Structures are given as C-alpha cells and as structure tokens.
Chains A and B, each alone.
Chain A
C-alpha cells in the first residue's frame, strides 16, 4: 500500500495515470456507440491498420514524435476503414472477411515497415515496437497533453451531438427521414473511433486496443438499457480499468500495460456478466425463479379451489373437503421441491390449512377468496382467448393480461360467456351460501368477491 502511495507522488506516474484514465473514459464513451452499431471489431481493424501509419510517419519525419505518429496512425486507420467499406460495397465479400483481411494485411505491412526501419533507419528508433503492446511507462508529459486534448474533444463532441449520434445508432432511416446528415455523422463517428484508437496505441498497443472499445461498453450494457447511462458507465469502467492496469504495471517491472488494463476491464465484465442488474446471469435466474414460484403458487391454489368446488357442489355447500398432495399435483403438475416451499408459504399467510394427522390440505376462507380470484381470472382469460376475434384490439392486452382490470363491457361479456359454458367458478358462492353470508342472488355474490 505504501509503495502505491509513494508511487502516486511521483509526477511521472501521475502523468501516466491521467493519460490512461482519460483514454479509458474516451474509449468507453465512443465504444458504446461502436458496440450498439455492431462495429466493435472495426475498432480492432483500425488499431491494426494504424501500425503502418506510425511507421511511415517515422520514416518521413525521421524521429519519434507523438503528434506525427498520431497523424500517421489516424490516416492509415481511416484508409483501412475505407478499404473495408469499399470491399464490402464493391464485391461479394462479407463484412467479417473484409475486416479480417484489412486487419491482417495492414498489420503485416506494418511489420514489414518496422523491420525495414530497424535495419535501415537512422537515429533512435527503439521503442517503436512498444506500440504493439503499449508501454504506459513511456508516456511523458507532452503525450499526456495530446491524449487529454483529443480525449476531451471526443467527449465534448459526444456531449454536443448526443441526440444525433443516438438517432443514427438506433434508427438511421428515421434520422435520414428527418433530414439529418447521416452520411456525415457516420463519417464523424468513424473518425471519433479512429481518434479513440489512436490515443490508446501508446498505452494499450495495437493488438489489444479493440478491447478498450468493446469491453467497457459491453460491461455497461449489463447494468442499463439507456444510452446516456450506458455511455457514462462505460466511461467509468474504462477509467477504472485504466487506473488499475497502470498501477499494476508500474508496480512490477517489465509488465506490459495494455494486457493488464484489458484484464482489469475483463474482470469488471465478468462481474457484470454475473451480477449485472439488467442482463446479468444471477438476476435473470432470480427473476425466473420468482416467476416460477408465483406460477406454482397460483397452480396450487387453483387446483385446491377446483377440488373444493367439486366437493362443495356434491355436498351442496356443506363441506369443503381436504385433499392429499397427490391430488393437487395430479391436477396441475408442479415440481415437488417448489410445491413444499409454496405450501409452507401459503400456510404462513393463513391461506391454507393442513391436517397434521393424514397430511391433507384444505383452503381457509381467506385462501378460498384469493383462489376464487385467480381461477376467475384464468377462466376469463380462457374465454377471451377462445373468442379473441370478437373483442376489439386494445392496449390492456399487451403486458400483464390482467383481465380483471380490463374495460367493463368486455368483462361483462366474458362473464356471460363463462356462464353459458357452465365454467363460472362458484366454489366461493356455495361456501358463502352455506355460511349464510350472502342471501342475495348468485351474481351479486360473485360480483362482491371482486376486489
């Protein structure tokens, strides 16, 4: 811990840290758009394609210079992107092949130039190959200033044009329709991706730069479904990975920074994959389990209600009867583990009573009321589905299908249908008649139970 604190006081380390944080934020923000536009691997191609640009910049300028490298890298990255699009447009070659082709051929050419420089170059060319894996420790003050300026510009443009970028990401046709310069905006976004790639080359390197665009964005995707939150979150994830990776790499000598930053981001990704609130595996499982439990609960109640209904009818409302687990499961199969848990829960809520002696289950009065509601709802739904074409399309059909909250006239019609088919649930009515709770008509008793 102390070494970390000591390190943090080193101005050089501070520069490096600032650089990787800004880089992480910018690439996370831009990467979100690339990801949603399904262009994540384009970033990979751009990063690889930047290598020959760096070498040519060195050959032309004759010395190492961050700004010339950036210009060279951007130009060859953009040429690579253009090549990919031209190949897709003018031949039958598909996107993935075009990306792989450009990526590998440009990288190969970059290696050729690199060896050419190493053999024939004059002056100090050492460290040029640090662009392949990145060496954050090599970043100095001036580099950080350049990185910061570009990162700020990228974030600023995203902020200003957020609405437009959002539109061309999700609905390019509509954007075209309302007269946005879609082609121009696409080009701008492409240039922004190149920008993010280029400033990352020194810290993360050519090969792994793609991960800086993809991993933070996909991590953020597990926590939110809104683009604005996603962009912010991806920026944070990128920044945090940058810090962690850089600190680890400065702690240990000879460790390349790029892979460590990527590994930090990957750990965050794995955490989100498991626990992410929107799409994470565990929350999804919990949700599924909850739904399953709810269905089991409704199934058990409905089965008991139907059994009681028969008994009440046969005994003319004198007794409800009690039933074994077997009978309940026979009517609607449920898994035994879930059944036990649900029965325990129902007993706790006072909806169910169990005769300890012979393990028979029976509904309580409260349970009967609730079960009545569930059965009524399901039977109304059956009727609705049988005569779906009779009813006008309406909003309440979407989503919950809660028929009891639907429009009154439809429910009345469905009730009439239920009566015609003799499927009206009347267990509760018979029970109440026995208890002399309602001496009104049959229908009013059923009406009264709504609520």
Chain B
C-alpha cells in the first residue's frame, strides 16, 4: 500500500476505535475522564520504559493499562473521600501527568521518547515504523496495534452490549438487576486506556481526546439509538481522519492537529444542521409553530 494509504488507514482506525469508545464516555458523562486518562497514559509509557527498557508495544500497553486504571481508581478514591468529582479529576491527572513529564526530562538522554511527540503524535512517521513477521514486512506497527485494539474493543462491546447500554443510561437500574457496575466501569476505563495508548503513536495523547469526544458528541446529536450512535460515531471518526489528512497535506501542517480540527468542524456542522437536534431545525420548528399560532388567532 502507498505511503498515503497507510496514513489514512491508521487515521481511520483511530477514528473508529476512539469513536466507539467515546460514545459510552459521553453517555455516562465521563468525557473528562478521557481527558484525564489520555494525559496520564504518558506516565504509564515512561514507567513501562524505565522498567522494561524497551519501547515494545506490549510493555507500553501494560504500562498504560495499569496507569489508566490507577487514574480511574484514584479519582474514584478522592471522590468517595469527599472531593467533588471535577476537582478530583483535575488534581489526579495533572499530578500524574506532571510526574510523567518530569520523568521524561530526567531520563531525556536515555529515553527515546520526546514529550512533544508523545503529546502531538506524528502520524507522518507511522508508515516507516513497520512490523516484520518471519522476515516479511507486514505493514506499519501502528496499524497492527490499532487493529488489535479495535478487535478487543469490538469484542467487549458485542459481548457486553446490553450491560454497557444499561450502565450508560440507567446505572441505578443496572445495579438493581445485578449488573456488576463497578466492573463495567473499570472495563470501560481499560478500553479507554488501551485505545489511548494505541492512538498515542499516531495522534498523540492530547489529540486523542478530540477523537474520543467529538465524533461521539456529533453522533449524539444525530440519533437517539445507541447502536446507530456507535456506527455514526465510528463513521464520523473516519471522516475526520480522512478529511484531516487531506487538509493537513494541503496546508502542510500537523496531521493530527488537523484531524482534531476536522472533528471539531464536523461537530459544528451537526450542531447547526442536525435534522433532529440541530439549531437550524429548531429555529425552523419554532418559526413554523409561531406562524401556526398566529394563524389560529
């Protein structure tokens, strides 16, 4: 496949994976946890590197998963000890992130990890970092990683679709009918962590938040059904990635930044033009209603 093809494939995989995970976060009102975990994953990666001395995929996943779950756990802990939830999120993620950045700077000589790269990602280098199995070049490492994570996420969503759905819309009922709500919470946090770390290489830790939240938020304005929302969100994710890539090559700017901006632009479009919840439609509806009532008088 061509260089361009690989990049678009990587971006699309990020869009689908993040889009799917993001829907549940939005519905459960945990969007800021995505922000928190995407920051703290840096600490996980640095920690994994310091422990294992390699930047191998599997160590990064393990480190990110551990720190991601720890972040969720700390936030829960602070919250249950009486700190309001937004402050708990703010304190935990900033401190863990700060620790990660300091570790990176401390071991700057030893570590092959650059903070700017970690934050903003560099999808343009993805096609060169290829994976070889039994002497055959099978394509970029990032594509395989994202593909694996996507399959894991899809498996989790298909397996626990009903549980995730009930937990998202009615946690009290989920608790009442015996769904392990806490387990589902940490399952989702685990999904979020591995999604973040897989996307980390290509779009970077911070921009992954845009890919997690923006497509889901747009889809949320377009439909009332969870299954359709998931599909739409994945589709919008892919669209942002593809559009972002072409816009970026047009202006010669950061691809991941442009993908985030595109996701934002697509959201603005849905915000105004959505057939059900869009501002324009609401305005038309209100106007026709007031005309009708004027006609009645």
Chain A: CB-nearest residue to B205: A207
CA distance A40 to B32 in the complex (A): 12
**B91 and A91: CB pair below 8 A?**
no
Contacts of A320 in B (CB 8 A): none
The answer to the question of A62 belonging to the interface, with a C-beta cut-off of 8 Å to chain B, is no
1/0 per residue, CB under 8 A from A, across B200-224: the answer is 0000001101101110110011000
Q: Out of A93, A105, A210, which one reaches B90, CB within 8 Å?
A: A210
Once A and B bind, how many residue pairs between them come within 8 Å at the CB atom?
Answer: 191
The residues of A that contact B271 with a CB separation of less than 8 Å are 87, 90-91
Chain A residue at minimum C-beta to C-beta distance from B96: A266
Q: Residue of B at shortest CB range from A112? A: B257
Interface: B117 (CB within 8 A): no
Check A108 against B90 for contact (C-beta < 8 Å): no
List CB contacts (< 8 Å) of B143-195 with chain A: none
Q: Give per-residue flags for B247-270: 1 if the beta carbon is below 8 A from chain A beta carbons, else 0.
A: 010011110111111011001000
Contact with A along B1-43 (1 / 0, CB 8 A): 0000000000000000000000000100111101100010000
Contact B29 A96 (CB under 8 A): yes
Q: Which among A113-121, A187-195, A345-353, A438-446 touches the partner chain?
A: A113-121
| Shortest beta-carbon distance from B233 to chain A in Å | 12
Q: Which chain B positions have C-beta within 8 A of A106?
A: 264
Partner of A100, one of B35, B84, B119, B253: B35
Tell me which of B30, B91, B99, B251 contacts A215 (CB under 8 A). B91
- Contact yes or no, B102 A259, CB < 8 A: yes
Interface of A is mostly: helix
Cβ contacts under 8 Å, B261 to chain A: 105, 108-109, 112
Determine whether B83 belongs to the interface, using a CB cutoff of 8 Å to chain A.
yes
Contact A93 B102, CB 8 Å, known A100-B31, A132-B119, A281-B81: no
A218 touches B91 (CB 8 A): yes
Known contacts A96-B31, A97-B213, A281-B81; A114 and B101 CB within 8 A of each other = no
Bound-complex Cα distance A107 to B211 (A): 12
Is there an interface contact between A255 and B254, defined as CB atoms closer than 8 Å? no
> Taking the complex as formed, is A44 at the interface, i.e. its CB lies under 8 A from any CB of chain B?
yes
Q: CB < 8 Å: which of B31, B106, B254 contacts A115?
A: B254
Contacts of A108 in B (CB 8 A): 207, 210, 256-261, 263-264
Partner of B95, one of A90, A93, A211, A256: A211
Q: Whole-angstrom distance between the alpha carbons of A269 and B220 in the complex?
A: 37
Given A93-B221, A96-B30, A208-B94, residue A112 in contact with residue B254 (CB < 8 A): yes
Assess whether A40 is in contact with B90, with CB atoms less than 8 Å apart: yes
A242 to chain B: closest CB distance in Å?
Answer: 14
Majority secondary structure, B binding face:
helix
A259–B213 alpha-carbon span in the complex (Å): 26
Central interface residue in A93, A112, A210, A258, by most chain B CB within 10 Å: A112
A: number of interface residues (CB 8 Å): 60
| A88 CB, min distance to chain B CBs, angstroms | 12
Check A263 for interface membership: any CB of B closer than 8 A.
yes
Residues of A close to B31: CB separation below 8 A: 94, 96-97, 99-101
Interface of chain B residues 25 through 70 with chain A (CB within 8 A): 26, 29-32, 34-35, 39
Interface pair B105/A93, CB less than 8 Å apart: no
Contact B253 A119 (CB under 8 A): yes
Asked if A422 is an interface residue, CB under 8 A from chain B, the answer is no
Q: Is the CB of A44 within 8 A of B260?
A: no
Given A115-B253, A269-B91: A101 touches B81 (CB 8 Å cut-off):
no
Task: Give chain A residues whose Cβ lies under 8 Å from the Cβ of B212.
Answer: 100, 104
Q: Does B292 contact A (CB under 8 A)?
A: no
Is residue B126 contacting chain A, with contact meaning CB distance below 8 A? no
A115 to B123, CA, bound (A): 14
Question: How far is it, in angstroms, between the C-alpha of A323 and the C-alpha of B253 when the chains are bound?
Answer: 86
Q: Is the CB of A103 within 8 A of B90?
A: no
Whether A109 and B257, one on each chain, are in contact in the complex, defined by CB atoms closer than 8 angstroms, is yes
**Considering the complex, which residues of chain A in the window 330-364 have a beta carbon less than 8 Å from any beta carbon of chain B?**
none
CB contacts (< 8 Å) of A40 on chain B: these are: 86-87, 90
Task: Mark out the residues of chain A between 229 and 283 whose CB falls within 8 Å of any chain B CB in the assembled complex.
Answer: 254-256, 258-260, 262-263, 266, 269, 273, 279, 281
Interface status of A111 (Cβ within 8 A of chain B): yes
Cβ of B38 to closest chain A Cβ, rounded Å: 9
Nearest Cβ distance between residue B78 and chain A, in whole angstroms?
8
Q: Using Cβ atoms and an 8 Å threshold, which residues of chain B touch A119? A: 252-253
Q: Complex Cα distance A35/B217, Å?
A: 26
Residues A97 and B98 in contact in the complex (CB < 8 Å), given A90-B279, A104-B210, A119-B252: no
Known: A44-B90, A132-B116, A214-B94. 11 other contacts (CB 8 A): A38-B84, A40-B87, A44-B35, A96-B32, A108-B258, A110-B257, A112-B257, A112-B258, A114-B254, A259-B99, A263-B98
Q: List 12 A-B contacts (CB under 8 A).
A: A91-B271, A94-B26, A97-B217, A100-B213, A101-B210, A108-B260, A108-B264, A129-B116, A208-B94, A213-B90, A215-B91, A259-B102
